[in-house]
Structure 1
Amino acid sequence: MAPEGGLDLSNAVALLTQAGWRAPVGAQAGEWLWVQAIVDGLCDLSSRDPLTGLANRRQFETALAREIDRVARVGEPSLLIVADIDHFKAINDTHGHVAGDAVIRAVGECLQECVRPMDLVARVGGEEFAIILPNCPPAFGQTVAERIRHRVAQRQIHLLDGALTSVTVSIGGAFAPQWVRSSVIIWTERADQQLYRAKAEGRNRTCLDTPPLTVVSAEEKSFLFSSLAQSDTLSASEILEEHPKTTS
């Protein structure tokens, strides 16, 4: 399985095959189409959580950094939600780690079912998840978070021994400050603070912070859009100021 140049991809193929990867139809081993498919498959595999198939922490942090940049440039509202399974250790202690894995997968499915295709759901820790919701107005944030919480609480999870169980999640959320370039750490910490609050107040609840009020002065807006303003055509008023109309 080594194409010209002696590149050995047998281990990569074995890893991808185990994950359910299939070579493109018609692609022959060693051809560059086949090699490119392997590279693409490895990239996708490295960005996914193996248990749930959701985005992993690496992909989440990359996407969050992109969203911070977008919010700073465009000014649209954006919400970061973090969710943690309540009393997860008790599940592992009572039913075993296989049951714990089943619970994590089920919660991941619930989260994915409750969001839009444009939203990113990630598993960022053992029993912790995060969701990036671009262009999510503050008026809808609580509704989305509550929909997720109710969906998880209502889900009946089948365990290997035939038993049924259910879990709840605590949810924290933080909106990105518009027109401001924040950071992954600051935005995540604000959401985490709300998650800790939800846990402290009794779990199985949603706590979202108040959207930060960002006031951008006329001077700051001018600076933000200076590169665009330089290429724009002068407004009619500016033209009249520079070239006053002469009267006959």
Structure 2
Amino acid sequence: MDLRELRLDAALALLAQAGSSQAVQQRPDCTPALQELIDGLCGLCLADPLTGLSSRGHLHAVLGREIDRVLRSGESALLLMLDIDQFDAVNGTQGAAAGAALLQSVARALGACVRPMDTLARYGDAQFALLLPACQAAFGRALAERLRRAVAHTPIPTGASLRLHATLSVGGAFATQAIRSTPLLWAERARHQLCQAQSAGCDRVSIEEQPESAVSAEEKSLLFGPLPPAENS
């Protein structure tokens, strides 16, 4: 098949804008070039082009898998929603270039604080999300405070002489065996806590309390342990 017969202009333009190679244009009748095109487009769907973080769609797919893992393993996971305070004011007064520099700097500061197993994504215009698997309550709150402080202490160059300082509001919600959820509901609970932090004055953390499990160790053994041997009839 000659790829030149396909209408690939829009796809190639997207890859060129993202800085991908020009292999498809150089070898338009080569099957590996088509595979490279497909892989490149998939990469654009999984990543945010401005910050390089995971995309919102990719995060929701990961959340679904994490909910299943929590139900199987019993280990809780934490989803944090992080919003840059007063971002619209910066974008409006300093311009789009300053807003983009602010987002990229915040993304780098957040990325330097997370584990390889965590998933950090850009969730909205000035909003980020962070999934923390196998996360206990004390660790989650400590990390959320660390993220908030890291961004607050990061100077953000936006021009030859101008430097900005940003602050974050952070909200978080846990997924546990005791809470049956979906990615959308989990994200909504975390966003509710984010609104709580913003309502309290911004530049602070609000994390949903974990519910106490009413299931005893013996009951868990009966629910999730091996089946008893069948009785002879």
What interval of TM-score do these two structures reach, taking the shorter chain for normalisation? 0.7 to 0.9
In structure 2, the residue corresponding to 1:42 is in which secondary structure? helix
| Worse overlay, 89-98 or 38-47 | 89-98
Please give the alpha-carbon distance, in whole angstroms, between the structure 2 residues aligned to 1:197 and 1:179. Answer: 23
The offset of 1:46, in angstroms, is: 1.4
Scaled by the length of structure 1, the TM-score of the pair is 0.82
Corresponding position of 1:170: 169
Scaled by the length of structure 2, the TM-score of the pair is 0.87
Corresponding position of 1:245: none
| Conserved? CA contact 2:82–2:128, under 8 Å | yes
Corresponding position of 2:113: 114
In structure 2, the residue corresponding to 1:60 is in which secondary structure? helix
Q: 1:150 to 1:28 in 2, by over 3 A?
A: same
Please give the alpha-carbon distance, in whole angstroms, between the structure 2 residues aligned to 1:163 and 1:154. Answer: 16
Unaligned residue ranges in structure 1 (runs of 5+): 243-248
Please give the alpha-carbon distance, in whole angstroms, between the structure 1 residues aligned to 2:81 and 2:211. Answer: 18
Deviations 1:29-87 (A, max 9, x none): 43222221211111011122121111121111111111111111221110100001111
Corresponding position of 1:191: 190
Task: Give runs of aligned pairs for residues 54-73 of structure 1, distance below 5 A.
Answer: 54-73=53-72
| Conserved? CA contact 1:177–1:213, under 8 Å | no
Corresponding position of 1:2: 2
Corresponding position of 1:140: 139
Please give the alpha-carbon distance, in whole angstroms, between the structure 1 residues aligned to 2:214 and 2:28. Answer: 58
Q: Could you tell me which amino acid in structure 2 is paired with residue 2 of structure 1?
A: D
Corresponding position of 1:82: 81
Corresponding position of 2:199: 200
- Identity of matched residues, %: 42
The offset of 1:167, in angstroms, is: 0.7
Q: When the two structures are aligned, how many residues end up with a matched partner?
A: 229
Q: 1:72 to 1:181 in 2, by over 3 A?
A: farther
The offset of 1:8, in angstroms, is: 4.3
| Conserved? CA contact 2:2–2:30, under 8 Å | no
Please give the alpha-carbon distance, in whole angstroms, between the structure 1 residues aligned to 2:108 and 2:48. Answer: 13
The offset of 1:161, in angstroms, is: 4.6
The offset of 1:112, in angstroms, is: 1.0
Q: Could you tell me which amino acid in structure 2 is paired with residue 182 of structure 1?
A: S
Deviations 1:84-130 (A, max 9, x none): 11111221232122211111111111111110111111111111110
Q: Could you tell me which amino acid in structure 1 is paired with residue 203 of structure 2?
A: N
The offset of 1:213, in angstroms, is: 2.3
1:101 aligns with 2:100: yes
Please give the alpha-carbon distance, in whole angstroms, between the structure 1 residues aligned to 2:92 and 2:142. Answer: 33
| Conserved? CA contact 1:170–1:198, under 8 Å | yes
The offset of 1:219, in angstroms, is: 5.8
Corresponding position of 1:246: none
Please give the alpha-carbon distance, in whole angstroms, between the structure 2 residues aligned to 1:154 and 1:106. Answer: 11
The offset of 1:14, in angstroms, is: 3.3
1:160 aligns with 2:173: no
The offset of 1:2, in angstroms, is: 3.3
| Worse overlay, 94-103 or 10-19 | 10-19
- Give 1 or 2 for the bigger CA radius of gyration: 1
In structure 2, the residue corresponding to 1:13 is in which secondary structure? helix
Please give the alpha-carbon distance, in whole angstroms, between the structure 1 residues aligned to 2:64 and 2:88. Answer: 31
CA-atom RMSD in angstroms: 2.6
Please give the alpha-carbon distance, in whole angstroms, between the structure 1 residues aligned to 2:41 and 2:52. Answer: 14
| Conserved? CA contact 2:83–2:170, under 8 Å | yes
